[in-house]
Amino acid sequence: MTTTTGKVFQGDAKLFQNFTKNIIDIGITTDYRDAIQDVGGFNTATQISLFSDGRAKETDTDRTDKRGWIGEEILTNIEGKPIIFGSRLWLLEGNKRNSENLNKMNEYTYEALKWYVDFNICSKVLVSCNYLNNDLEKAEIHITLVRPKDENLNFKYFYNWELRNYEVNEQ
């Protein structure tokens, strides 16, 4: 894709978090007029996969609001499995901070990123979630995308359970 300035866009669009407005936005460069900042790797795809609300399963909640993309209920891949967009991390809001919910955080994180393996982008997705020290408000999410022909990609996020926001720690 080429921008209005003729710069070729490569990789993902860079996202940044505006803490005062509690929003995520696309970065705009200062060296090119109105050009989108780009970033190599899979940073943006990983952030969108994790921090967009995924559709709740029927067994997840008795809420009428299932959030997420309704297309998950009707669209399937060539194997007949539902197409997943986003994650179910939002289901952990307001839950107790314990090992059971930490296991769910690991499960939901892996599930949101499994498409990397399904589309043969990575051979494996490794996920490790834990609480930071004694701070039960924040959890740390470590992700490694194992790529057989390239270097592995590592990501680390800090997820605040109360505020439902995350911080990116670019490695």
For 46, 148, 159, 160, the CA distances from 52, given in Å and listed in that order, are 10, 28, 13, 15
The percent of residues in the chain predicted with pLDDT above 90, rounded, is 17
> Higher-confidence residue: 150 or 136?
150
Query: Looking at the structure, do residues 105 and 153 belong to the same domain, yes or no?
Result: yes
Residue 63, both tokens: 């809420």
Q: Which of 55, 88, 49, 60 is nearest to 72 (CA)?
A: 55
In a domain, 115, yes or no: yes
26/107 same-domain check: no
Q: Which of 5-19, 74-88, 102-116, 155-169 has the weakest average pLDDT?
A: 5-19
One domain, residues 19 and 81: no
Co-location of 30 and 61 in the same domain: no
Owning domain of residue 157: 55-169
34 or 66: which carries more pLDDT confidence? 66
The string of pLDDT tens digits covering residues 127-148 is 999 988 766 678 889 999 998 8
What DSSP letter does each residue of 78-129 carry, written as one string? Answer: TTSPBPP-SBSGGGGTT---SHHHHHHHHHHHHHHHTHHHHTTS-SEEEEEE
Is 105 in the same domain as 145?
Answer: yes
CB neighbourhood size of 168 (10 A): 17
Residues 59 and 22 in one domain: no
Q: For 86-111, what is each residue's pLDDT tens digit?
A: 899 888 887 777 889 899 999 999 99
pTM (whole model) above 0.85 = no
